[in-house]
Amino acid sequence: MTIKLTDVAKKAGVSPTTVSRVINHYGYLSQKTIDKVHLAMEELNYQPNSLARSLQGKNTQLIGLIFSSVGNPFFGELVEKLENKLFEKGYKTILCNSADNKEKERDYLRMLAANKVDGIIAGAHNLGIKEYEKVGLPIVSFDRFLADNIPIVSSDNFHGGQIATQALIQSGGEKIAIFTGTNRSNSPTNSRLEGYLATIKKNQLEPYVFEFDSHYSPALKSLEIKKILKEEALDSVFCTDDLTAILVMNEAVKLGLKVPEELKIIGYDGTTFMQQYFSQLTTIVQPIEDCATLLIDLLVQRITDKDVALEPLYTLPVKLIQGEST
């Protein structure tokens, strides 16, 4: 005998609507009611069938996340927060690490469309506009320009670049370099460099821009960092991500440079992980929690009404956290 939703309702002594609400995490429910329904579901070993629901033309409650790599603490943290918040809204998360692999990203987009996920949150940037426009699903993007009608959630990269550079100047920095990735035309993160350049210019200083190939391994990057630190006599480095800042700190220690006396270092991203385990680094904190909330809010709006008017770009504020490296 198949257990039905009405059996659960009867057992729990509530209405079928209430059971449905508990299952779909929807509407106001007291903890007592939730517990009663869960208990009844367990005693009857009842399993709601999303597949069946999706066949009736309803939503699958599946959301696809496409990010380059959850092994990177920044994306690991963002994906974790997204998954937690999606779960609270009754959605399940399908994870794709596109790993800077164009073919994989394309395959995934096809798979996600084929699985009729309700929507996609994407922070990868291998593919062109065409592929994303073609998917025909609600999509929101983190920090990447994907297509004309796909809204972007980003933190205030320009302001981040400004306050990082300003902090180095205030600590007495005069020869201030920026260590950044290669320029990507489709990314608002380029504004970190622009914020740096504007602040350098305003203070009548000389810019020192070093771009690192994004395909370099940390070991190769460290070699290049070492060479730069030895040759350039910089007194300050603004790294546009915290992981590069860690490599700079490591090389500084090896070269016997005192941080911050001889070399000031500031990072970017400020994950909880960095704040907990490397609080010595001064860094610009992106509001990961707020980004996750907004991404999901916008996506749900699009899922509910595919024609809803959304802004092309939502910019959230950043802040500086003072460590001991500046």
Select 20 or 166, whichever has its Cβ closest to a second copy.
20
Residue 303 CA to residue 301 CA, distance in Å, equals 5
Does residue 283 sit in helix, strand or coil? strand
Tell the smallest beta-carbon distance from residue 317 to a second copy (Å): 22
CB closer to a second copy out of 113 and 205: 113
The dihedral built from the CA positions of residue 179, 185, 186 and 192, taken in this order, carries a sign that is positive
CB of 76 to a second copy, least distance (A): 4
> In 3-state terms, what secondary structure has residue 161?
helix
Of 136 and 231, nearer to a second copy (C-beta) is 136
* 3 state DSSP class of 195: helix
Q: How far apart are CA 85 and CA 70, in angstroms?
A: 17
> Of 74 and 145, which has the nearer Cβ to a second copy?
74
- Shortest spacing between CB 290 and a second copy, in angstroms: 16
Residue 69 Cβ vs a second copy, minimum distance, rounded to whole Å? 6
Contacts for 268 with CB less than 8 Å, ≥ 6 apart: 160, 164, 192, 238, 239, 240, 241, 242, 245, 283, 284, 286
Task: Give whichever of 44 and 198 is closer to a second copy, judged by the CB atom.
Answer: 44
What's the min distance (Å) between Cβ of 92 and a second copy?
5
Residues forming contacts to a second copy in the complex (CB under 8 A) are 38, 41, 45, 47-51, 54-55, 60, 62, 65, 69-73, 76-77, 79-80, 83-84, 87, 92-97, 99, 104, 106-108, 110-111, 113-116, 134, 217-219, 243, 246-247, 250, 271-273, 276-280
Rounded to whole angstroms, the Cα distance separating 73 from 219 reads: 18
